[in-house]
Amino acid sequence: MTRLPRALLRGASLLALGGSLTVAMIDATHPMFNDVPVVGGVLGVCAVLHLPFVSGSKAARLSALAWLIAALAWTASATDRLGPVPARLIVFGVDGATWRVIDEEPLPNLQSAVAGGARGDLISMEPMFSPLLWTTIASGRSVNEHGVRGFHVQSDDCKVARWWDIAEAEGQPVGLYKWLVDYPPRAFAHGGFWVPSWLAPAADTWPARLSVVKEVELANRLRRKAVGEREASFGLARRLVDAGARLSTLTRAAVWRVRERIRPPDDATRNTEMQLIRGALDRDVFIAQLYVEKPTVASLNYYATDGLAHLYWDRYAAGGTEVRAAYRQADEIFGELAARLGPEGRLLVVSDHGFQAMTGAGTAGQFLPLTDRLAARIRAEVGSADVTRIGHKLVVGTPSKADAERVRAWIPALTDRAGNPFFKIGDYPDDEGSLALTLVDEQISADRLATDTVGGEPIAQYVTLTASYSGMHEEHGVILAWGAGVEPGSRLGDVPLLDAAPTILAGAGLPASDQMPGRAHVWPERPRVAEWDSLVPRLQFLGEQGTDVNEEMLKALGYTDDGSKPAEPRP
């Protein structure tokens, strides 16, 4: 062998040794960091291949030894010896999950849990959008009681106690990770952690060291505020590792950045990869904090199943990979959570609604009502309101029944050029403060967009033609219980959304209140208390109360917009 190849082999062995020892040192203080055991096998193969050169020289022997030590160090650090997490109950919220995908796709962990657990359909409620629904799941109370009707809401807008408030009051440490309507966060009295969801407009978390997760998620918004924009990549990576990020996630993000610069991908590929990187980071940090902060009840919410289904449900039906990739990741996360639970641990999967293809008439159904101008006119003419789009329907959320009636009286003033009402008004029996608006005439064409008006303004400010969104919410969600106290293979049937909170509390060994109309499934209830709402006025929140929400993500997910191109989800 010539001198140059020998020198290259020796140099490679030293690099491998240095890299392996560095990874091993990081893993010594962050035990889940090295999650790529296959590299240890590759290094071992390199050591074996180097054996024929051992007799050649001392340098060759040292090189072979370096490969061997590198392989051993890497393999040892990639071995997980952490044991079970101390949590008694983990709630895994999978936004928009539907059994039609879980049953049809190769999702071994979820399908195995169906065989070994209890399965049901969690029946959603109208108006069917996520902040309202997740608040109902958390509290076991109707929207008229909890008061969360739109996206422009915050933690202190919820008027009733939620499961984490009850757990804290009962002396349990709590882990709360990205449950909708959870900004600003607060410090739990008995320990735990709190990382707000994608609606959060700022990076506040508890403890503050976890704020790096939100800083990454809010990168565009934070840059405009000149917050952390000059932080070196190494410093950011170190903070992510301290929060729990794993080697595979950091590598995936780095490779993606390089790929984007070399050859920019199409929107579907970019949106999918951004969602999956975010999901991997959330998994890493959440599981790490289960070990570090040791909550006895914790929740992780996963949103890629909803975000990608809004955009690419038509592609899923045609065999596309985007929605399938999200469900595969959700399945992997469920599998790891189940594997890390102790013998007394329990895992509850819930979704706030299911999913279906966009319905409606018009040009192949490819029209969308817009939200921004309508919301501005309602606020100017009537009063406070939040306008949200769910498929071809608009939800107008107001503070009270009286406010909703004022909006109802004003909406007929919005007529088209011929003087006909533009919107048809519908009610929500379970929510007296909200109205449903649909188009009276759904025949939307380019010619009509160019000539018609709504309330004296161009119709293009109120509706647009688009193929950007192809999926919409549907009432049949998912509930799946697995672990201690669950009868294998049992069927729960239809489970009303109001039953979710009592079921969560029963799984955590906590009492529901007499104010909750629902009942627990799967696990027996503790005797109920009279009420929990007296906890709410005493709650002290951190962060920027009174700030707005993350408008970029609202537009990216299709809940609000002015008709421009959807924003890109960020990792």
CATH number at residue 544: 3.40.720.10
pLDDT in tens, 276-333: 999 999 999 999 999 999 999 999 999 999 999 988 998 998 999 999 999 999 999 9
Q: Are residues 310 and 458 in the same domain?
A: no
Q: Which domain-ending residue is among 36, 51, 77?
A: 77
Which of 409, 433, 468 represents a domain boundary (last residue)?
468
| Residue 120, domain member (yes or no) | yes
**318 and 202, same structural domain?**
yes
Give the mean model confidence (pLDDT) for residues 109-116.
Answer: 97
State the SS3 of 281-341. Answer: HHHHHHHHHHHHCCCCEEEEEECHHHHHHHHHHHHHHCCCCHHHHHHHHHHHHHHHHHHHE
Q: Are residues 107 and 71 in the same domain?
A: no
Q: Which two tokens stand for residue 156?
A: 């202190």
At residue 210, the 3 state secondary structure works out as: helix
CB environment 34-57: b (16+ within 10 A), e (fewer)? bebeebbeebbebbeebeebeeee
- Residue 480 domain flag: yes
Mean pLDDT, the chain, as a whole number?
A: 89
Number of structural domains (the chain) is 3
Give the single-character DSSP code of 85: B
Question: By the 8 A CB rule, do 196 and 217 touch?
Answer: no
Per the CB < 8 A criterion, the answer to whether 480 and 489 are in contact is no
- Min mean pLDDT across 147-156, 372-381, 464-473, 505-514 is at 464-473
pLDDT digits (tens, 9 = 90+) for 189-226: 999 999 999 888 889 999 999 999 999 988 754 443 44
163-186 average pLDDT score: 97
Three-state secondary structure call for residue 472: strand
Is residue 85 predicted with pLDDT exceeding 60? yes
- Specify whether 385 is located in the same domain as 438: yes
| Same domain for 378 and 335 | no
Over the stretch 432-467, which tens digit does the pLDDT of each residue have?
999 999 888 877 878 888 899 999 999 999 998 876
Domain extent, residue 63, equals: 3-77
Identify the CA nearest to 20 among candidates 60, 79, 78: 78
pLDDT of residue 545: 57
Q: How far apart are the two ends of the chain, measured CA to CA in Å?
A: 47
Establish if 18 belongs to a structural domain. yes
Q: Are residues 156 and 181 in the same domain?
A: yes
- The mean pLDDT of 471-485, rounded to a whole number, is 94
Q: What is the CA radius of gyration of the chain?
A: 26
In this structure, are residues 503 and 520 in contact, taking their beta carbons and an 8 Å threshold? yes
**pLDDT of amino acid 8:** 67
pLDDT at 54: 62
Q: Where are the alpha helices (DSSP H) in 82-121?
A: 99-104, 108-116
pLDDT tens sequence across 357-411: 876 544 434 678 899 999 999 999 999 898 988 878 899 999 999 999 999 999 9
Q: What's the pLDDT score for residue 222?
A: 43
- pLDDT at res. 530: 98
Mean pLDDT of 541-554: 69
Tell me if 278 is assigned to some domain: no
Burial class (CB in 10 A: 0-12, 13-18, 19+), 542: middle
- In what helix (H) or strand (E) does residue 91 lie, and over which residues does it extend? strand 89-94
What's the one-letter identity of residue 142? S
Residue 243 lies in a domain: no
State the Cα–Cα distance between residues 154 and 134, nearest whole angstrom.
Answer: 13
Distance CA 546, CA 202 (A): 11
Residue 501 lies in a domain: yes
Residue 1, token pair as written in the block? 């062998």
Residues 383 and 482 in one domain: no
Q: Are residues 104 and 201 in the same domain?
A: yes
Residue 224 within a domain: no
Instruction: Note whether 191 and 48 are same-domain residues.
Output: no
pLDDT in tens, 226-284: 444 445 577 888 999 999 999 999 999 999 999 999 999 999 999 999 999 999 999 99
Of the three residues 77, 97, 117, the one that is the final residue of a domain is: 77
Are residue 105 and residue 159 in the same domain, yes or no?
yes
Residue 468 has pLDDT above 80, yes or no: no
In a domain, 255, yes or no: no
For residues 12 and 25, membership in a common domain is answered with: yes
480 and 464 in a common domain = no
Which tens digit of pLDDT belongs to each residue from 25-69?
Answer: 999 999 999 999 999 999 998 888 777 766 667 777 788 888 899
